[in-house]
Chains A and B, each alone.
Chain A
Amino acid sequence: MRALVIDDSRAMRRIVSGILEGLGYETQQAGHGREGLDALEGLAPDQLPDLVCVDWNMPVMDGLQFVSAVRSNPGWRSMTIMMVTSESEHTQIVRALAAGAHEYVIKPFTADAIRDKLALLGLLPQEAVL
């Protein structure tokens, strides 16, 4: 399985990617929403990542704009989007889900939190199932 991790913090990108790799994912990284879209553009459907983890507050293009952009492209429906952000008000989570995010992980999180969410989404690579 493949994942794209979008966060303006390099440290956070490494942490999230490290957790996903530990669960059996191949990962790719981007520093903001625009870079994320660039990484997806031109990919054939079978090359698209299964999962996109995206932060909210980022320069150039924020996570909410990214989610809306992905959702407006019918060719990208297969991807599951999980926001991973310190934005943690009720209204913000509602906005993200309304824009088309499937899941939402609030920072700070533990590796278990990511694994549990992926289990709910049916996106745990087989060998990682406990």
Chain B
Amino acid sequence: MTLTTTSFDWVRHLVHKESAIVLQPGKEYLVEARLLPIARQAGLTDVSQFVESVRIRPDADSTRRIVEALTTNETSWFRDGDPFTALTSTVLPSLLGARGPNERLQIWSAACSSGQESYTIAMLLEDALPNAASRVSITATDISREMVERTRAGRFSQLEVNRGLPAPMLVRHFTRAGTEWEVAPALRRMVTASQCNLAAPLPRMGPFDVVYLRNVLIYFDLPTKQAILRRVRDLMRPDGWLFLGAAETTLGVDDSWERVVVGRSSAYRPLKGK
């Protein structure tokens, strides 16, 4: 089972294009080790076979999984913390002022991977709001069933909790479970995880006050980006807030959003009448 030069080169170019990370020749072994679990999920035993199938018929989900498996900064907690700082400093006070005391805020983590983003939001809200669990619900979705299950389980390896999770938050919101760390039940109750393909018509959800859709659009072509943004907008409250990845924007893609600067981050809000 060796990775062909064609497959390796394709992976190298893909990873470089999406993450600017350079995989040197000789790292074939790394590619094989990291992609084997994904190939197995796809029902294949061979990484080359898997890479070839994606190369010939690219799909956004597999492409994203490949890049994520080979780059390590997609799944850390508060890394790129600005969209989270914005949540507690600006977005939450503004929403609490606009909503009735019994209205539950709905937040959507739209490509939740193994759950770090959803639980980061849950921890911030738990620390910022008394009885957060009765005021807020967090919907976590991902196209991969395995990721949805991981999010539900709320268990993280030592290496995962080492990545950008402040130690005071780790001890406040997690307990040890064998070699792993488990999110507190109160936070798990705030998060509902389900499977959802952003590139297809969406299930009935929301309406959402805040949507985190970070590092997803970059993997799609322009018409799909436009369709996703339209569908997301349809599930949002008119005064809602959308957060994209640092390298993503609605500008030049969909003109029905207004870009607003929140602290050191940018958010996008639905433009009225569009």
Q: Do chains A and B touch in the complex (CB under 8 A)?
A: yes
Where the two chains meet, the residues of A that have a C-beta atom closer than 8 Å to any C-beta of B are 88-90, 93-94, 96-97, 101-106, 108-110, 112-113, 116-117, 119-120
Q: Is B162 in contact with A110, judged by CB distance below 8 angstroms?
A: yes
Q: Is A116 in contact with B167, judged by CB distance below 8 angstroms?
A: no
A sample of 7 more A-B contacts (CB under 8 A), given A97-B168, A102-B167, A120-B166, is A90-B171, A93-B171, A96-B167, A103-B167, A112-B73, A112-B76, A116-B79
Q: In chain B, what residue has the closest Cβ to A93? A: B171
With an 8 Å Cβ cutoff, the count of chain B residues facing the other chain is 20
- B262: Cβ under 8 A from any A Cβ: no
A residues near B164, Cβ cutoff 8 Å: 113, 116-117, 119-120
Q: Is A116 in contact with B163, judged by CB distance below 8 angstroms?
A: yes
CB distance from A4 to the nearest CB of B (A): 19
Q: Is B166 in contact with A113, judged by CB distance below 8 angstroms?
A: no
- B86: Cβ under 8 A from any A Cβ: no
Expressed in whole angstroms, the Cα–Cα distance for A116 and B161 within the complex equals 11
Q: Is B171 in contact with A106, judged by CB distance below 8 angstroms?
A: no
Expressed in whole angstroms, the Cα–Cα distance for A68 and B186 within the complex equals 33
Docked complex: B123-167 residues within 8 A CB-CB of A: 158-159, 161-164, 166-167
Q: Is A106 in contact with B168, judged by CB distance below 8 angstroms?
A: no
Q: Is A104 in contact with B158, judged by CB distance below 8 angstroms?
A: no
B residues near A112, Cβ cutoff 8 Å: 72-73, 76, 163
A residues near B167, Cβ cutoff 8 Å: 93, 96-97, 101-104
Expressed in whole angstroms, the Cα–Cα distance for A104 and B186 within the complex equals 24
Q: Is A113 in contact with B163, judged by CB distance below 8 angstroms?
A: yes
- B175: Cβ under 8 A from any A Cβ: yes
- B199: Cβ under 8 A from any A Cβ: no
B residues near A90, Cβ cutoff 8 Å: 171, 174-176
Q: Is B176 in contact with A89, judged by CB distance below 8 angstroms?
A: yes
CB distance from A119 to the nearest CB of B (A): 7
Expressed in whole angstroms, the Cα–Cα distance for A116 and B73 within the complex equals 9
A residues near B168, Cβ cutoff 8 Å: 97
B residues near A88, Cβ cutoff 8 Å: 158, 176
A residues near B79, Cβ cutoff 8 Å: 116, 119
- B81: Cβ under 8 A from any A Cβ: yes
Q: Is A109 in contact with B162, judged by CB distance below 8 angstroms?
A: yes
